[in-house]
A and B are shown apart, each in its own frame.
Chain A
Amino acid sequence: MSVTARAASLLVAFLLVAGLVIFVTLYYVRGVSSLPTVHYAASGGQVNVVLQEDPQNDSSSKPDWVSYYVQDPATSKWVHTTLFSVPANTRVNVTLYGYDGCTPLRNNYFSQVQGTIGNTVTLSQFDQHGKEYVSEHTTSVIDSWSDCNVGHTFAIPALGVYVPVASPNAPLSANNLCSESPCVTEGNPYALEKFSFMTPDHVGVFRWQCLVPCGGGYLDGNSGPMQTLGYMMGEMDVVSS
């Protein structure tokens, strides 16, 4: 083979590999960025973030995966995403609706509320008729091993925020869970948690996740929704205030 032919072959091979790398990179970036981000603006140094976690979701590809939803403050509509942005150095008041049933924590240490203001959450629980059977109980521990009461967690490890997310009780978890997402309070049992934490004074993207092995159908409950953005894994983008 002549030098020219060899050089041409080398060039073609190089272009093929480079093209493949660029395609994969763009495909991945485009795939991640297709998730919408819900933006929260501060008012009086505070933002009110509203989340819910459901036993299923309204996607066409993985409808049986457990999933978080984020409420858009502009429209009050639930958005199937786990990306939201908040300003830096701001108090974030979280309202979290827990519609999914209970699953024990792998490490019950995360039953402890950490990193919130006061290291507590305020918990209420309602049955499918709207009856409040636990009313605004402020606690620093929701023990996932003592009763059916923890569905998932909301954890931002880089900020030291670990919050067990309560679930409806055992009979309600077994028989009356919400079956259509995004869930609504009417006709469904749910837990309602409120807590606050401070965002750092610097911008950055902070991963948040669930620490309950809630990936049904996957080894040890890991993988699947546990590790997928838009389901039980999310990112909080702290932007300049």
Chain B
Amino acid sequence: MTTQPEAQGGQPGAGARHGLRIFLIWIILTLAADLIIWFVWKPHMPPGDMSDAARHQQFDIAVLAVSGAPVIIGVLVYFVYSIVVFRARPGDESDGEPIYGNTKIAVGWIIGTTVIVMWLFVFGTVELVVPAGAGAGEGPAPIWKLAGTTSRTWTPNTNTMLEVQVIGQQWAFTYRYPQFGGMESSELMLPVNTPVTFHVTSLDVIHSFWAYQLGVKADANPQVDNVAYVTPKTLGSVTVRCNELCGIWHGAMYNFGHVVAQTAFQSWASGVQAKEQADGVLAALPPYAYAYDPTVVPQLGANLPKIDGITGAAGYYYPPSDPVTP
């Protein structure tokens, strides 16, 4: 334990010794914390490593934790060291030593915080650009596109981009596959190791498509095509939740998806397409489009509220202008 004059920096060199001690404690704890974060915690960090976007997000969270640990540990070490070493002794009612005008501390603080902020800015930007938007919705005209061949059809092992439209309504998600005749499904199926383009939209209020394990989250806005990219990397199940408060049953708006082998996906998609073709479902669906006006039946080319014959007197179709008041 230091003596009182040393603790208050009263002797020449006392400040340097305190600084060295704090630095040594800090560097040891920081190394230990960062090693634990990287090698023990990172593999279990959300959202996992099921897709390229998810892997990047897991990497991002780990890097931010490794970057933040030295700062947090530095604050805590200085805090505890001060309480233990610089505490007031009984009978000591003197003020602390003024530290105005310490150029080293001021410059060190400015440089340190600038480095941290610039590092976060550069790292965040790179991690947004490199993984093609990082699984987030980029709007109808995405800036960062995922590499892959575009085609009107999809076949396994060709690196062809699979297009999947996500349609939200209160309180269910459905999925359309334009490369399979525009067939629609209430479950999300994706092929592994395939670049996927999600086109996310809504038929009523604002929802948000959140495929948790895939690291994909994109708002579903009515009349808007919100594009997000992902490449599933491992087989398994995906939980899809709505992530935008969309009404009283928002919490119940979820379903599940599966990442399957490419051949299994083609078999499933072709099977659903054939069944919906045979049952007349495909004919009953509107032609595939990036967004839909739910008050229009494209097959009839007319506005739903004005169509006689499919809306009874007591079964009027309520248009967007219908008043809120009951």
Contact = CB atoms under 8 A, between A and B. Distances in A.
Interface of A: 55, 62, 64, 100-104, 106-109, 111-112, 114, 140-141, 143-148, 151, 155, 157-158, 160, 162, 167-168, 170, 172-175, 177, 207, 209, 211, 213-224, 226-227, 233
B313 A145 contact: no
Dominant secondary structure of chain B at its interface with chain A: loop
Given A211-B172, A217-B326, A218-B318, A167 B312 contact: yes
A217 B249 contact: no
A107 B174 contact: yes
Given A111-B281, A160-B187, A223-B247, A104 B314 contact: no
Contact of A106 (B294, B300, B309, B311): B294
Q: Which of B186, B248, B311, B318 counts the most A-chain CB atoms under 10 A from its CB?
A: B318
Given A104-B311, A108-B284, A218-B324, 13 more contacts: A107-B167, A108-B285, A111-B281, A141-B280, A157-B255, A160-B186, A167-B312, A170-B309, A170-B312, A173-B315, A209-B171, A213-B318, A218-B326
A145 B172 contact: no
B284 A101 contact: no
Contacts, number: 152
Contacts of B314: 55, 100-101, 173, 177
Contact of B279 (A62, A112, A233): A112
B184 interface: yes
A142 to B, nearest CB: 10
Contact of B315 (A103, A107, A223): A103
B271 to A, nearest CB: 13
A195 to B, nearest CB: 15
Interface in B272-326: 276, 279-281, 284-286, 294, 297, 299-300, 304, 308-320, 322-326
Contacts of A102: 310-312, 315
Contacts of A226: 170
Given A108-B285, A213-B317, A222 B312 contact: no
Nearest to A170: B309
B315 A101 contact: yes
Contacts of B189: none
Contacts of A158: 255
A141 B281 contact: yes
Nearest to B176: A109
Contacts of A146: 284, 299, 310
B203 interface: yes
7 contacts: A103-B316, A104-B297, A211-B169, A218-B322, A218-B324, A220-B320, A222-B170
